[in-house]
Structure 1
């Protein structure tokens, strides 16, 4: 999945779609021009793809529309969404209704995947300001796994009811870290374990039928002391797919711009993610995508076993696209 500025595609995005046939787009940044402007961009992105070269397979077009400080699309046609912690001011049933409405706004603009809701549990209101990626921004649905599950899964079901696929994140959780993987390296959660009670929201979301889960970029030494989560077979294959029984799309968090990934060569990042069991690598720096793409191609040519993993990931994406009416 390659990124495009939500205010207009650039040459790098268009090259990824046309030359490398990347099949999915993430709309990033901030737009205040409303739904018509977003719809025009989505139509442009769709029109630039050669149907013959892709077999007519349509794109997943994703964005980050959580609410509060994390709302990429604004202006006429998009509600001003409250932050997750403020979304809990209504009942879970009412939140599902509101999320359906927010999802309908995205769908009307051509967006069919939302990287929300956040299912990370922050341990307490007192700790929230110290939790840089989640609590600091009010992205949490509460301070117990039960509360997060109740509200977060309701939001997910609301988006799904609108025809926009929810993407629950950031498995196995970012509520206990103090630094943000986007802007810091060595971000570690020393607490979360394989059978941690804080996994409940993700378990409930999987049981509710979500088809997308985003993996955190943090390190979880009590789970896998060697690999950060997106490169961890324990996190992806054993926990998410095995313990929770998830059989949908495992999408990475951004693995291009995130400072947490800075120790790893760009060409190896997509390879490591798919080797660990991932399905779709997200690159929010479209200028870096060719290096990650070439790394995948070269490894596939040199390693037949890895090539089979790539084929399996592509097939999974096609299966979910079939479910979503994109074939």
Structure 2
């Protein structure tokens, strides 16, 4: 219902999974860096009435009408190649640090996601203001944060209220989820943060329970039944949307069946069961139908979808399963590709280009020093040919459409 058409843009003509273990020094329990790539710290267009669809002109007696270009489309035509490439990188901002100015002034990063624990609203406001000041005035940054509730809450203290874990909320049902996520949305909107890197849509395998390190062990999942989890995910998506905050479904196609955390291990992160017909995908379908404008891809490997390839780099998982089969038209982002052990053996440049080849859009890096390398790699890949250039512009268009949907673009 809210600005549904913006993320359903046709290709432009010119054209993390895991989280750190709880901080023992925090009485509430915390993740040192968050739940996603973010977790170190997916687009339909986010309308609450279902996934985006291609707009069609209404016939009249005078013939078909032509929709005027959107603010996102107009802005895309004004950007140079590096500015376009930069939109496909989101950069981590750890508490107590400063994001290097060149991340925005030279590399034109699409935005920032907050990492670690921020206890002060004033500190968050300063970080948001600095990102905006360094960015081109008509190309503002997208601000995002892991704020799932329970242990995975980057904003604390007077920056955001405490909310229960997904496991607790799942036991209480969708109404409790909606109430908690309305609170999360209110807090993020008050700080100028447009994207929640939440909710977790992963269905935890009951045979694993807490042995499922990335989700079950940290109480990040709504439950073990796909239908019940889906109802909670949909409630979270709609509650965030009502507060003007975009939801991110993670970690597609699901981390509920793996044992190890992809932030800290490259072993034990294979899911041998999930397939394109798996019932565990139902929770993601529910979130897409509810209008989630982002989906975060998992770093795990799913042999029944594509052997030996992490989902974020798998065309079968991104284009084939998520986009073609489930009908998702929005922004597809990675979990952390900057510091996560799961991708440590992948050359930095390939971490961006392999996502684009798979049909995805934006990489998240917890290491801001990689920004220039990632943008350079996207530029070089786009220069290979017309198809590559079209893909980069298509993904940048999705990012700009999300920014327009969230009220960040002029006009």
Q: Same fold (TM over 0.5)?
A: yes
Normalising by structure 2, we get a TM-score of 0.75
For the Cα contact (< 8 Å) 1:131–1:176, is it kept in 2? yes
Q: Secondary structure at the match of 1:102?
A: helix
Residue range with higher mean Cα deviation, 197-206 or 294-303: 294-303
Alignment partner of 1:48 is 2:103: no
- Find 1:195's aligned residue among 277, 297, 303: 277
Structure 2 gaps of 5+ residues are 1-89
Residue range with higher mean Cα deviation, 185-194 or 162-171: 185-194
Matches within 5 A, 1:153-232: 153-186=234-267, 187-232=269-314
Deviation by residue 1:37-84 (Cα, 9 ceiling, x = unmatched): 211210111111132xxxx02221000001122110111141112211
Alignment partner of 1:261 is 2:348: no
The structure number with the bigger radius of gyration is 2
Give distance in 2, aligned partners of 1:178 and 1:276: 25
Q: Which residue of 1 aligns with 2:112?
A: 25
Give distance in 2, aligned partners of 1:178 and 1:88: 21
Q: Which residue of 2 aligns with 1:100?
A: 182
Q: Secondary structure at the match of 1:87?
A: helix
Alignment partner of 1:131 is 2:212: yes
Give distance in 1, aligned partners of 2:102 and 2:403: 22
Normalising by structure 1, we get a TM-score of 0.94
Structure 1 gaps of 5+ residues are none
- Find 2:403's aligned residue among 308, 313, 321: 321
Deviation by residue 1:252-295 (Cα, 9 ceiling, x = unmatched): 11111111101210111100001110011111111122222211
Alignment partner of 1:306 is 2:388: yes
Give distance in 2, aligned partners of 1:292 and 1:10: 16
For the Cα contact (< 8 Å) 2:124–2:159, is it kept in 1? no
For the Cα contact (< 8 Å) 2:171–2:222, is it kept in 1? no
Structure 1 runs of 4+ with >3 Å offset: none
Matches within 5 A, 1:243-254: 243-254=325-336
Could you say if the C-alpha distance between residues 69 and 82 of structure 1 is closer, same or farther in structure 2, counting changes exceeding 3 Å? same
Give distance in 1, aligned partners of 2:113 and 2:194: 11
For the Cα contact (< 8 Å) 2:361–2:396, is it kept in 1? yes
Deviation by residue 1:96-125 (Cα, 9 ceiling, x = unmatched): 12211221111101111010000101121x
